[in-house]
């Protein structure tokens, strides 16, 4: 576990070192908050606190790294890449879509050891203020290669560090 944390931290720090002061409006401090499970929610935690860092330039390749307490209380780690669309104004809020992939080390099923998997990252970002956005993401229910995952939607609050 410590080796994986060190690897993810190294990747995150390497990416942070490439950030330029002029591009800081693409950098976010991330708070992981809540996960809503559509099945088997009674044996999963809804509160999934954690922290992370994200760089998500519009029309450019970005990255994300962080840690949180997963739905079973295990310490989870994540790192990955993302691509963000330009924001669109919907009513009074800016909305952006993010697509990407994440290497996620977490406990996927009750009473099992944590595993590392590459998972898709579809997300929608809604502005709350000029510097704060709500990130809404999740994964569908999937049966693949003998493995089953439940549908889940999770929320992050991202604060721009500009």
Confidence (pLDDT) at 22: 44
pTM for the predicted model, two decimal places: 0.80
Residues 6+ apart with CB under 8 A from 54: 27, 28, 30, 62, 63, 64, 65, 66, 82, 158
Q: Please give the DSSP secondary-structure letter assigned to residue 81.
A: E
Give the tens place of pLDDT for each residue, 38-79.
777 788 889 999 999 999 999 889 999 999 999 889 999 999
Confidence (pLDDT) at 129: 94
- The architecture in CATH of the region 2-160 reads Beta Barrel (2.40)
Residue 124 CB coordination number (10 Å): 15
CA terminus-to-terminus distance, the chain: 33
Which residue has 């000029």 as its token pair?
130
The residue-averaged pLDDT of 88-92 equals 94
Q: In Å, what is the CA distance from 25 to each residue of 18, 160, 162?
A: 14, 6, 5
Report whether pLDDT(32) > 60: yes
Closest CA to 49 of 162, 136, 157: 157
Question: Average pLDDT over the chain, rounded to whole?
Answer: 84
Confidence (pLDDT) at 162: 74
Q: 32 with 51: CB under 8 angstroms?
A: yes
């Amino acid at each position: 576990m410590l080796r994986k944390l060190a690897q993810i931290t190294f990747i995150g720090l390497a990416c942070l070192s490439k950030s330029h002061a002029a591009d800081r409006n693409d950098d976010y401090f991330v708070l992981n908050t809540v996960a809503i499970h559509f099945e088997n929610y009674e044996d999963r935690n809804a509160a999934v606190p954690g922290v992370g860092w994200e760089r998500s330039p519009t029309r450019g390749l970005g990255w994300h790294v962080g840690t949180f307490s997963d739905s079973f209380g295990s310490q989870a780690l994540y790192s990955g890449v993302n691509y963000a669309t330009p924001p669109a104004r919907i009513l009074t809020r800016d909305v952006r879509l993010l697509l990407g992939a994440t290497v996620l080390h977490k406990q996927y099923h009750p009473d099992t050891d944590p595993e590392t998997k590459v998972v898709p990252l579809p997300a929608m970002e809604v502005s709350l203020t000029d510097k704060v956005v709500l990130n809404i993401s999740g994964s569908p229910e999937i049966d693949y290669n003998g493995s089953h995952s439940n549908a889940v939607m999770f929320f992050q609050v991202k604060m721009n560090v500009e």
